[in-house]
Amino acid sequence: MNRKLKPIPRFRSEAEERKFWETHDSTDYVDWSKAKRVSFPNLKLSTQSISLRLPQGLLDRIKIAANKRDVPYQSLIKVWLAEKVDGE
């Protein structure tokens, strides 16, 4: 493959990058024929457990919303928090 690749733009956030790749073909930016398989055997989780006290009624409503979406309620909370922070 000897065609000119486009430069990958710089992104201000992960959300901005995600939106970009949802609408652009990576083969215009990356020569996948040169890609190499890698392994990360010692990769540590990048999450941290926290304790959060919620009123029981609020937690129940969150669990109902998660059940309607067929996702774990803690995952739904993470999505909602990320959307709110990204929107700020």
6-17: average pLDDT = 94
Write down the pTM of the prediction: 0.50
Is residue 36 situated within a structural domain? no
Q: How far apart are CA 87 and CA 75, in angstroms?
A: 18
Q: Which two tokens stand for residue 12?
A: 């201000």
Average pLDDT, the chain: 92
Q: How far apart are CA 57 and CA 80, in angstroms?
A: 18
pLDDT digits (tens, 9 = 90+) for 35-77: 999 988 888 878 889 999 999 999 999 999 999 999 999 999 9
Is residue 87 situated within a structural domain? yes
Is residue 61 situated within a structural domain? yes
Is residue 21 situated within a structural domain? no
User: What's the half-sphere exposure (Cβ side, CA atoms, 13 Å) at 63?
Assistant: 7
What are the strands, taking DSSP E only, across the chain?
none
Q: Which two tokens stand for residue 68?
A: 């309607």
**Per-residue pLDDT, 17:** 95
Domains in the chain, number: 1
Is residue 58 situated within a structural domain? yes
Domain residues for 83? 53-88
Is residue 71 situated within a structural domain? yes
